[in-house]
Amino acid sequence: MHILIQFDIIIFKTNSFPKIEANYIIPTFAPGMQRLKSLTKAYSGISKEMWLLAIGMLINRSGSMVLLFMSVYLTKEKHFTIPQAGIVLSMFGIGSLVGAFIGGKLVDRVGFYPILIWSLVLSGIMMLALGQMQNLYLIAFFTFLVTATGDMFRPANAASISTYSTKEGYTQAIALNRLAMNLGFTIGPMLGGLLASYSYEFLFWADGITCILAAGYIFLMLPRRELIKNETIIEESTPALSPYKDKEYIYFLIFTTLYAISFFQLLTSLPLYYKNAYSLNEKNIGWLMALNGIGVAVIEMFLIYAIRNKWTEFKFISLGIVLMILSYLMLIPFHSIAILVISMIFLTFSEMFSMPFMSTHSMKRASTKTMGEYMALYSMSWSVALILAPFIGTQLIEYAGFNGLWVSVSVIGLISLFGFRFLESRH
């Protein structure tokens, strides 16, 4: 990309071309170069530290594959029932809730930097141990430990973004962070599907080792900086209000949780649906799940740059919810691989429209002194959803079938949509 931009400069400034030749070159290539320049603006204004942090995130997420295949692993490999698998999967959410709460408290007390590193190290160790467990209760316990340690990373990561970025580049910094996550999420399912076809134990080794490698990279490459007052991100008028007393924020978190309960069927119920309703093997499930990561990785940065000032945050969130509802409902009347692909595309755009603006809204409501608590509560809302999503999903599958599940989570999404529209009406 750098070479092409430099080439554009040479075309317009060089005297070595004959005049008539330049007249053909400029009309032909100038519009394309201008579009290229506009695309590169999507990446402008992002600090070096944010790029380093994003690389660490990419390393970590490239090994994130256990959760994606956990429902299939528990039912097909370990021969647990679907409700038993739902209980184990809920432990991911319970651990996430505990980890996000503790992480938020620690960020405000000791800073985000040590939490970034130690959460990855401890989570990696717990993941390696989880792969060796055979008993249902031990699997559930170590599943809890994996996310209890790993999700301390969330509030630390949010605080690091606010420290390493500016107000103008904050939404782009979030998008870059998510770009790295989703590039990893593209690699993870594909690699996970390949490894699972040989042995599921390889999944746990890959996931655990990449966590530890990411921690080492951050320690060696990312300069340490404390969470400081950043006037460019946090408005001076923002009151130092506890998030627990911010009623509007609590409503926001409730509606976010409802959205997340529906969205997280992507991680818990959809792999089971692909396996049971379509008899897809692990490789094909991995490729299909990777569509989400590929879409976000390729499109989101440019999409956020193009739309960030067009609508309010709540309008973009609402659009994302509508797309999610449609993605599930289309699975009921139609049955084909093409529909699975289209449904995943809709879910991917739902994520791109909703999640960056949810995170931005949370950050805007926080003050410097309460940054950790605000972002911890935001992370905890997703953790609550991760507890409820697999439990609700597996119970509905057991007693109402997959069609009953799709209708139910669409209704939950609709409630979330009405909630966000209500919040927008108050502004």
pLDDT digits (tens, 9 = 90+) for 130-162: 989 989 999 999 999 998 998 888 778 878 887
Q: In 365-394, which positions are buried (b, 16+ CB within 10 angstroms) versus exposed (e)?
A: bbbbebbbbbbbbbbbbbbbbbbbbbbbbb
Task: Return the pLDDT at 247.
Answer: 87
Please tell me whether residues 289 and 421 are part of one structural domain.
Answer: yes
Other CB atoms within a 10 A radius of the CB of residue 235 amount to 11
Rounded to an integer, the average pLDDT of 32-57 is: 68
Task: Return the pLDDT at 180.
Answer: 81
Please tell me whether residues 328 and 257 are part of one structural domain.
Answer: yes
Task: Return the pLDDT at 178.
Answer: 72
Please tell me whether residues 52 and 34 are part of one structural domain.
Answer: no
Distance CA 112, CA 353 (A): 27
Q: How far is CA 400 from CA 267, 386, 403, in A?
A: 19, 21, 7
Which has the minimum average pLDDT: 46-50, 210-214, 420-424?
Answer: 46-50
Rounded to an integer, the average pLDDT of 233-242 is: 53
**Which domain CATH number covers 166?**
1.20.1250.20
Residue 18 confidence (pLDDT) above 50: no
Other CB atoms within a 10 A radius of the CB of residue 205 amount to 15
* Extended strands (E) in 158-238: none
Contact 52, 221 (CB under 8 A): yes
Task: Return the pLDDT at 16.
Answer: 36
pLDDT grade for 103, boundaries at 50, 70 and 90:
confident
Please tell me whether residues 391 and 249 are part of one structural domain.
Answer: yes
Please tell me whether residues 98 and 201 are part of one structural domain.
Answer: yes
Rounded to an integer, the average pLDDT of 174-179 is: 76
Determine the straight-line distance between the first and last CA of the chain, rounded to whole angstroms.
Answer: 41
Identity of the residue numbered 231: E
Please tell me whether residues 405 and 280 are part of one structural domain.
Answer: yes
Please tell me whether residues 14 and 77 are part of one structural domain.
Answer: no
**For the chain, how many helices (H) and strands (E)?**
16, 0
Per the model's pLDDT, the better-predicted residue between 289 and 130 turns out to be: 130
Q: How far is CA 274 from CA 69, 247, 271, 413, in A?
A: 11, 40, 5, 22
Task: Return the pLDDT at 410.
Answer: 96
Report which of 72, 84, 81 is spatially closest to residue 273, judged by C-alpha positions: 72
Percent of the chain with pLDDT over 90: 27
Task: Return the pLDDT at 321.
Answer: 96
Domain residue limits at 33: 2-39
Based on the structure, what is the number of domains in the chain? 2
Please tell me whether residues 28 and 48 are part of one structural domain.
Answer: no
Please tell me whether residues 25 and 168 are part of one structural domain.
Answer: no
Please tell me whether residues 63 and 34 are part of one structural domain.
Answer: no
Alpha carbon 194 to its chain centroid, in Å, reads 22
Residue 337 confidence (pLDDT) above 80: yes
pTM of the prediction? 0.70
Rounded to an integer, the average pLDDT of 216-234 is: 67
Residue 45 confidence (pLDDT) above 80: no
Residue 9 region by backbone torsions, left for phi larger than 0, else alpha for psi between -120 and 50, else beta: alpha
Distance CA 370, CA 240 (A): 7
Rounded to an integer, the average pLDDT of 35-51 is: 65
Instruction: Quote the Cα angle for 16-17-20, to 5°.
Output: 150
Please tell me whether residues 300 and 333 are part of one structural domain.
Answer: yes
Contact 274, 288 (CB under 8 A): yes
Please tell me whether residues 150 and 204 are part of one structural domain.
Answer: yes
